[in-house]
Amino acid sequence: MFEFEIAARDGGARAGRLITPHGAIETPSFVAVGTQGTVKAVSPEELRAIGVQVIIANTYHLHLQPGEDLIEKLGGLHRFMNWNGPLMTDSGGFQVFSLGAGREHGVGKIAPIFPEEEARLRDRGGHFRAADGGKPLVKVDEDGVEFISHLDGSRHRFTPEKVIQIERKLGADIILVLDECTSPLHDYAYTKEALERTHRWALRALREFERADDGRQALFGIVQGGAYRDLREASARFISSLDFHGFAIGGSLGKSKQEMLQVLEWTVPLLPEGRPRHLLGIGEIADIFAAVQRGIDMFDCVAPTRMARNGALFSREAEAFRLHIRNARYRDDPRPVEAGCGCYTCRNYSRAYLRHLFEAKELLAMRLATIHNLYFLEELMRQVRAAIREGHLAELKREWLP
Amino acid sequence: MFEFEIAARDGGARAGRLITPHGAIETPSFVAVGTQGTVKAVSPEELRAIGVQVIIANTYHLHLQPGEDLIEKLGGLHRFMNWNGPLMTDSGGFQVFSLGAGREHGVGKIAPIFPEEEARLRDRGGHFRAADGGKPLVKVDEDGVEFISHLDGSRHRFTPEKVIQIERKLGADIILVLDECTSPLHDYAYTKEALERTHRWALRALREFERADDGRQALFGIVQGGAYRDLREASARFISSLDFHGFAIGGSLGKSKQEMLQVLEWTVPLLPEGRPRHLLGIGEIADIFAAVQRGIDMFDCVAPTRMARNGALFSREAEAFRLHIRNARYRDDPRPVEAGCGCYTCRNYSRAYLRHLFEAKELLAMRLATIHNLYFLEELMRQVRAAIREGHLAELKREWLP
């Protein structure tokens, strides 16, 4: 029920189509993040109208609340959340990392995504700590990982098998194995140790998956190894050697954009040509171009939706593509967020109205902003796919990033 | 451009149609509250799909933020908020009351709307006070009212003329005069003094309205007088004698449902037959029947939307029509909120999913709940209008309120 066809190539970039039991995904594709079984602030119908093709929910969050047994009983996650298109579940590896090393080291999954974050990191000597000193809430051992719920402090254990069992109950089309994310601040020795464990976990996950495989789900392996070349290469080789439907690149992508690109350049060439490649947690416009040019087919990121809820709206006219709608200069601006944009928000509302909604703390503000940001990104992806088919990706990139 | 036709009568109830420059309103009609230029959590398209015919925004709130000059510059409130149906603006009289006597006396505009509130009032010996002791933020004098903004502490003055000028700039189809709301705890002498001032203000507002009347707005007068029979009657007679397009009944409606009904029985028979009558701030199901049976054509209330945001969903199966979706009993309930309900929420989502969204603090929760509650109320209004036309209103009421 899964097929991946590559229709066109432009340099390292590929345009293709991934077929799932709930429909096809045209690639390269942005995957909208719906952590708790809803893409924050928008409805499934709005996502469809925007052109969102696939959503990624989270195993960690849904396990804790409302629980996979409940979702299974109610007919699975597709039905539960009223989304009958392609659906993925992330394994929860990153969430566990956030509670553990991420917390301890005060860093996110990857190199700081935002320039402001980068600056903040630099200001604090390379990292910052959680408010409570960053006490880790996680213990990793060979069997799996024990963690404390961020919701109620209860104790839980994830193993590679358990995560597959949860994801089977959730029933997404594409599911990911449990991995151990390392931090950019972990040293080589620890990163290697964690990587080897992640590889053993990958084997166990695959075995558990195959034990009850009914052909309705595809399992993606995850390449780890931090920003260390030999580890990334070893991981790409090992994970590629296993019978996964596709491959994700996860974990620390180094401390800078430059390092992230290096990780891709070390890793992607070692992945099988004919299978889809997902870059976890990336969504900046420059990063999208860079990743697609290096052969990435899918990626997900909370940034577009989170930014929207904070009033940062994508615009090609604004610095760093971000129009900060709360800025006083938009107070009486009758124009749409982005001239010529075809999204519901831009077709119907002025910047002045959006700013008013944000100032007045109205719920509609977050919805309208999220619709715009997702549409903007989907429109970019439509252009990217068309450019690959026409062999113009480099030109398109120059047009977007002069 | 305004016409009010009564098509059918059933006892004191009337079914009719109020024509405005932005379309017709079938009456009796519920008016959705869109205080800040948006009905909280829902879009104009959703309101239309639900069957909402008319929205009431608020002069006080829009004056403070973003300001009537800005809205006028952007083409008026209809265009600003993307609602091209009938639109009303309340005068801000109640908001000023809330900052003043309402605050001082610790009471709402009218008799407590919710049973819980009623209980709370009783517990505290008839009234409760604001957290800071209820210092009033308002001074009323003959000319108008001076008040302190709840947003930033800035000082403002409303006069009857100023309010008309603001409402002209906002451009709603139906606008209300500035009135002084009294509290159920005000004595006869003060209520009488305030009423006489409100009458003088009504005259001034009408004069200001007529000075620049272009036929595109209709002005409604407001009957006050608290729960005092002679004052209510005097007010109904006086306000009726002026050339208003319609009449609203406002202010304190006493300390109990019983008193509220008395106020209607004293007042409504004295209002001109051929003009619409709006009851301000009422929206409980029992109250709707009671008001419609006493000749009310329109009413507005924040309760259905506010309840929704708190997870209280209208249902005929639940006690007091309220299904508290956060209750653990709905954890794995696969049914829609209300069996047979045609709303978007009930057609697509289970109680279990809604509960999950509320528990997970997801924004979609408030939208789905608001859509259901508004639809439920609009469906009730469709039944009420049909019942009046068929002469079955009493039966319909017995069916709803056995």
Residue A351, amino acid: R
Q: Which residue of B has its CA nearest to A34?
A: B362
Please give, rounded to a whole number of angstroms, the shortest distance from the CA of B303 to a CA of chain A: 17
* B360 interaction partners in chain A (CB closer than 8 Å): 36-38, 61, 65
pLDDT single digits (tens) B198-255: 999 999 999 999 999 999 999 999 999 999 999 999 999 999 999 999 999 998 887 7
Q: What is the pLDDT of residue B116?
A: 44
- Measured CA to CA, the distance from residue A183 to residue A94 in angstroms comes to 10
Determine the residue of chain A that is closest to B69 in CA distance.
Answer: A332
CB contact under 8 A, A40 and B363: yes
Option in A43, A350, A364 nearest B74 (CB): A350
How far from A391 is each of A12, A286, A298, A398, B386, CA to CA, in Å?
11, 19, 19, 14, 63
Burial profile B62-94: b = 16 or more Cβ within 10 angstroms, e = fewer: bbbbbbbebbbebebbbbbbbbebbbbbbbbbb
* Nearest CB neighbour to B360, from listed A36, A70, A360: A36
pLDDT for position A107 = 66
Please report residues of A whose CB lies closer than 8 A to that of B43.
Answer: 364, 367
Query: Which active-site residues of A does the annotation give?
Result: 90, 300
Q: Is the pLDDT of residue A54 over 50?
A: yes
pLDDT for A122 equals: 35
For residue A38, the chain B residues in CB contact (below 8 A) are 357, 360, 362, 364
Find the closest chain B residue to A348 by CA distance.
B82
Average pLDDT over chain B reads 91
Q: Tell me: the pLDDT tens digits for A75-97?
A: 999 999 999 999 999 998 888 77
- pLDDT per residue over B31-60, tens digit each? 999 999 999 999 999 999 999 999 999 999
Verify whether the Cβ–Cβ distance B74 to A42 is below 8 Å.
no
Lowest mean pLDDT among A215-229, A355-369, B102-116: B102-116
Question: Residue B249: what pLDDT?
Answer: 96
Q: What's the pLDDT at B109?
A: 47
**Spatial distance between the Cα atoms of A62 and A72, rounded to a whole number of angstroms:** 11
Is B165's pLDDT higher than 90? Answer: yes
Q: For residue B36, give how far its alpha carbon lies from the nearest alpha carbon of chain A (Å).
A: 7
Q: How confident is the model at residue A127 (pLDDT cuts 50, 70, 90)?
A: very low
Residues in chain B within 8 Å Cβ distance of A310: none
Q: What is the pLDDT of residues A55-78, one digit of tens each?
A: 999 999 999 999 999 999 999 999
Q: Between B285-293 and B257-267, two packed helices, what is the crossing angle to 10 degrees?
A: 20
Nearest CB among B40, B348, B366 relative to A82 is that of B348
Residues of chain B in contact with residue A367, where contact means CB-CB under 8 angstroms, are 43, 363, 367
Per residue in A309-329, pLDDT (tens digit) is 999 999 999 999 999 999 999
Q: Which of B38, B73, B74 faces A357 most closely, judged by CB atoms?
A: B38
| pLDDT tens track for B72-90 | 999 999 999 999 999 999 9
Contact call for A65 and B356, based on CB within 8 A: yes
At A11 the pLDDT is 97
- Give chain B positions within 8 Å (CB) of A70: 331-332, 352
B259 or B390, which is more confident: B390
The predicted model gives A41-49 an average pLDDT of: 98
pLDDT at A184: 84
Judged by phi (left if over 0) then psi (alpha if -120 to 50, else beta), residue B125 lies in: left
pLDDT at B28 over 70: yes
Q: Which residue of B lies nearest to A346 if distances are taken between CA atoms?
A: B82
Task: Kindly tell me if the per-residue pLDDT of B173 is higher than 80.
Answer: yes
Which sign does the torsion angle of CA B198, B204, B207, B211 carry? negative
Partner-chain contact B367 A362, CB within 8 Å: no
What pLDDT sits at residue B134? Answer: 56
Nearest to A201 by CA among A292, A94, A104, A93: A93
Using CB atoms, pick whichever of A82, A348, A362 lies closest to residue B38: A362
pLDDT at residue A93 in the model: 82
Rounded CA separation A155/B382 (Å): 52
- For chain B, which domains are there? 3-301 (3.20.20.105), 309-395 (no CATH)
- DSSP per-residue string spanning A240-260: HTS--SEEEE-S---SSHHHH
**What pLDDT does B125 receive?**
33
**Numbered residues of chain A with Cβ closer than 8 Å to any chain B Cβ:** 36-38, 40-43, 61, 65-66, 70, 73-75, 80-82, 331-332, 334, 348-350, 352-353, 355-357, 359-360, 362-364, 366-367
Over residues A367-378, the mean pLDDT reads 98
